[in-house]
Amino acid sequence: MKRNLVFMLMMTLLPALATAQNLTLRPHAGLTSSWFASDEIVASADEILEPKHLYGWVVGAELEYRSNRIFGASVALDYSTEGTRYEDGNTLKDYRFRQHRLSLPVLAVCHIGTTGLALEAGLRPSYLLSATNGYTDPTGEHSDDATSLFRRVTFDIPVGLSYSYGALKATLRYNIGLGHQYDFEGDGDSATARSIWLTLGYGFSI
């Protein structure tokens, strides 16, 4: 169902992008702050560690079509590092999952008059390239491959606000994960991803 929705969105957007004259190609880069909602780590019988923000980065490029003064659409290809950290316990410290993702956000854009501001919302399918699990305990620091723990394909709803000044565009976006992160059933399988992106891009008319 979700994959069919992505296909329909792409088929609707791509003909307009292919024939449009008002196109902007915009490379961008920025920072991410992410965490897993509804998740926790049971460190011991009487110690539960809650999730907290993990900081990372994102780099990519978007192709934006502006149909008129108000409405537009964009599609992007992004590489990002996301995941989650957890509170420090008595012996378990800096417990974290770091994911490397390739995503394809498809967004509708609504420009607010001539202020340079715009509202953005849409769907972000992403593919998990790899994941690691790191932590520190009394025996030292550890880092293990954790790719198999997570679903390869996930979907987010991105909502954001952007500000454009000349060729520069700054965007603040909140990504709301749909579905569970872990690829198993049991304790922790209800965890959903959340992330905040802050990016700066420079546009070229094509």
The answer to whether position 72 is within a domain reads yes
pTM for the predicted model, two decimal places: 0.84
Window from 3-17, 73-87, 172-186, 187-201 with minimum mean pLDDT: 3-17
pLDDT of residue 18 exceeding 70, the answer is: no
Torsion of CA 33, 36, 40, 43, to 10 degrees: -50
pLDDT of residue 69 exceeding 80, the answer is: yes
The answer to whether position 185 is within a domain reads yes
110, 70 Cβ separation under 8 angstroms: yes
Residue 4 banded pLDDT, cuts 50, 70, 90:
low
The answer to whether position 47 is within a domain reads yes
Q: How far apart are CA 151 and CA 155, in angstroms?
A: 10
The answer to whether position 148 is within a domain reads yes
Q: How many separate domains does the chain show?
A: 1
pLDDT score, position 131: 97
Domain that holds residue 201: 2-16+26-205
The answer to whether position 21 is within a domain reads no
Rg, Å, the chain Cα set: 19
Q: What confidence tens digit (pLDDT) does each residue in 150-170 have? A: 999 999 999 999 999 999 999
Q: What is the domain-level CATH number for residue 84?
A: 2.40.160.20
CA 25 to chain centre: 20
Question: What DSSP character marks residue 150?
Answer: B
Q: How far apart are CA 49 and CA 45, in angstroms?
A: 11
- Average pLDDT score over the chain: 88
